[in-house]
Structure 1
Amino acid sequence: MPSQSFYDFDHSLTVLSQSLGYVFKDKALPKLALTHRSFDSKKNYERLEFLGDALLGMIIAEALYFQYPNQNEGRLTRMRATLVRQESLAIVAKQLSLSNHLILGVGERKGGGRQRASILADTVESLIGAIYLDSQCIETVKFCVLCWFAPLIDNVNDTQVLKDAKSRLQEWLQGKQIPLPVYELLETQGNAPNQIFVVSCQVALDNCPDVIASGESRRIAEQKTAEIMINQLNKL
Structure 2
Amino acid sequence: MKNIPNILKSRSKRNGIFFMELTKILGFKPRDIKYFKKAFTHRSMNIKDGKGNPFNYERLEFLGDAMLSSVVASHLYLEVPSGDEGYLTKMRSKVVSREHLNELGKELRLVDFVESKIPAGQFGDNIHGNLFEALIGAIFLDRGYKYCEKFIYRRVIVPYVDIEKLEGKVISYKSLLIEWCQKEKRIFNYHVYEDSGNDIVRHFSVKLSIDNKVVAKARATSKKKAEEKASKRAFFAFQSRMSKMI
Work out whether the TM-score is over 0.5.
Answer: yes
Percentage of identical aligned residues = 29
Matches within 5 A, 1:10-159: 10-40=16-46, 42-106=54-118, 108-111=119-122, 113=123, 116-136=124-144, 138-150=145-157, 151-155=159-163, 158-159=166-167
CA distance 1:211–1:13, shift in 2 (3 Å)? farther
Match of 1:184 in 2: 192
CA distance 1:87–1:163, shift in 2 (3 Å)? closer
Match of 1:161 in 2: 169
* CA–CA separation in structure 2 for the residues paired with 1:71 and 1:109: 42
How many residues align structurally?
A: 216
* CA–CA separation in structure 1 for the residues paired with 2:80 and 2:61: 27
Match of 1:201 in 2: 206
CA contact (8 A) 1:45 1:126 kept: yes
Q: Normalization by structure 1: what TM-score? A: 0.72
CA distance 1:134–1:231, shift in 2 (3 Å)? same
CA distance 1:98–1:225, shift in 2 (3 Å)? farther
CA contact (8 A) 2:216 2:230 kept: no
Offset, 1:185:
4.4
Offset, 1:72:
0.6
CA distance 1:90–1:197, shift in 2 (3 Å)? farther
- 1:201 aligned counterpart, secondary structure: strand
RMSD: 3.8
CA contact (8 A) 2:102 2:129 kept: yes
**Deviations 1:167-204, CA, capped at 9 Å, x for gaps:** 45568999xxx98573514279xxxxxxx974323357
Offset, 1:73:
0.9
CA contact (8 A) 2:208 2:217 kept: yes
**Deviations 1:200-235, CA, capped at 9 Å, x for gaps:** 23357xxx98422235xx43553245446767999x
Q: Normalization by structure 2: what TM-score? A: 0.69
CA contact (8 A) 2:191 2:207 kept: yes
**Counterpart pick for 1:214 among 206, 216, 221:** 221
CA distance 1:182–1:83, shift in 2 (3 Å)? same
Greater shift, 220-229 or 165-174, is seen at 165-174
* CA–CA separation in structure 1 for the residues paired with 2:205 and 2:63: 37
Match of 2:243 in 1: none
